[in-house]
């Protein structure tokens, strides 16, 4: 989930513990609501040492690691600031748990029980990054800060905080309820993917039919039975495309970011001496308007791997963010 929502949840948690916890504990709680995402700075070490712990949203996104880490920092704070250790530790762990819980709620898998287990979990009721939610949370932080300095009335300030708290509880509650209901209704080979707005969502489908594997991505609306087909790709079994598709899937697991997603839609392009396999990830699908032409532009994160057709060796691989239209027109 985005850093602004993490930070704002920390602000709200601190706001409602003003009369309970010490200032040191409240500040520590707030910092822990966004600190785990600083593991992005450990990525260079991960590439050098190939250690799981250093990956983004890996070892740092665990309740157990959070309990140990906040305990160590709390001991240091209690010694130098002369505050109650258990109070600071509890506050820090609450903040850390808020962060882990919000990320568990989103589309990316995280290992919530590491180091006991590396198995990753997700509830997938919200986007991994929702720019609309991030903008809203960022504005809310500015509103609270501005009001505090312009007209610091305690009762009005707390009422505003209560409003935000109830709003987010309602928002995440609706998200969770929709995810549960829709996924229960869907067949086993179809999976719910949250949209940017709560009542819009995507359906990823992987099925076997006519000696091939079909990959579909549909857009749906809660209050309508109609579905809009966005993409439909198929790969024949026992074909050269299937061979290189399986090779590309295995290679994609080496990319930590994509390892956390599973809804793949393949595009395969055969050339004279090589084969390009493009894997796009439906969890990151987005649609927006181009600024100049105001036409629909659909895009997603991807990994593109080029193989030597004869030796099956990897010639090149690249990952990034690209356009569906470009891939559909074979302009790659």
Q: What is the pLDDT of residue 287?
A: 72
* Structural element, H or E, at residue 206: strand 200-209
Per the rule left: phi > 0, alpha: psi between -120 and 50, beta: everything else, 70 is alpha
pLDDT digits (tens), the chain, 332 positions: 899 999 999 999 998 898 889 999 999 999 999 999 888 777 676 666 667 666 778 889 999 999 999 999 999 999 999 999 999 999 999 999 999 999 999 988 999 999 999 899 999 999 988 999 999 999 999 998 888 788 678 888 888 899 999 999 999 999 999 999 999 999 999 999 999 999 999 999 999 888 899 999 999 999 998 999 988 889 999 899 999 999 998 888 777 667 778 888 898 998 888 999 999 888 888 875 334 443 446 788 889 999 999 999 999 988 888 776 776 666 66
Token digits of residue 153: 């009335």
Q: What is the pLDDT of residue 290?
A: 39
Supply the angle between the helices 3-15 and 131-150 in degrees, to the nearest 10.
40
Rg (CA), the chain: 23
Q: What angle do CA 12, 16, 19 make, to 5 degrees?
A: 145
Contact 215, 265 (CB under 8 A): yes
The answer for residues whose C-beta is within 8 angstroms of residue 81's C-beta and 6 or more apart is 24
Q: H-type helices in 196-296, by residue range?
A: 240-252, 256-259
Q: Smallest Cα–Cα separation from 213: which of 186, 188, 189?
A: 189
Q: What is the pLDDT of residue 52?
A: 67
Rounded CA gap, 192 and 218, in Å?
A: 10
Q: What is the pLDDT of residue 216?
A: 93
Q: What is the pLDDT of residue 293?
A: 40
What is the reported pTM?
0.87
């Amino acid at each position: 989930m985005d850093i602004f929502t993490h930070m704002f949840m920390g602000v709200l948690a601190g706001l409602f513990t003003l009369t309970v916890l010490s200032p040191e504990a409240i500040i520590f709680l707030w910092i822990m609501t966004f600190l785990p995402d600083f593991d992005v700075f450990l990525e260079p070490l991960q590439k050098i040492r190939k250690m799981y712990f250093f990956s983004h949203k890996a070892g740092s996104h665990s309740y157990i690691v959070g309990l140990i880490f906040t305990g160590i920092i709390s001991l240091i704070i209690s010694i130098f600031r002369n505050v109650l250790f258990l109070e600071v530790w509890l506050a820090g762990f609450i903040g850390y748990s808020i962060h882990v819980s919000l990320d568990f709620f989103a589309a990316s898998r995280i290992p919530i029980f590491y180091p006991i287990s590396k198995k990753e979990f997700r509830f997938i009721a919200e986007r991994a990054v929702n720019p609309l939610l991030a903008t809203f949370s960022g504005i809310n932080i500015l509103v609270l800060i501005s009001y505090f300095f312009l007209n610091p009335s305690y009762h009005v300030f707390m009422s505003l905080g209560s409003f935000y708290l109830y709003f987010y509880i309602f928002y995440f509650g609706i998200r969770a309820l929709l995810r549960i209901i829709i996924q229960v209704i869907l067949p086993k080979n179809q999976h719910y993917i949250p949209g940017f707005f709560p009542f819009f969502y995507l359906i990823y489908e992987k099925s076997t039919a006519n000696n091939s594997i079909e990959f579909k991505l549909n857009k749906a609306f809660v209050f309508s039975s109609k579905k809009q087909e966005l993409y439909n790709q198929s790969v024949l079994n026992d074909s050269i495309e299937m061979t290189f598709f399986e090779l590309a899937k295995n290679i994609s697991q080496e990319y930590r970011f994509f390892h956390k997603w599973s809804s793949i839609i393949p595009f395969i392009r055969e050339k004279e001496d090589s084969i390009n396999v493009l894997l796009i990830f439906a969890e990151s699908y987005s649609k927006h308007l181009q600024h100049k032409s105001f036409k629909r532009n659909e895009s997603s994160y991807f990994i593109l791997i080029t193989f030597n057709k004869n030796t099956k060796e990897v010639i090149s691989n690249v990952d990034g963010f690209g356009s569906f239209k470009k891939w559909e027109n074979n302009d790659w």
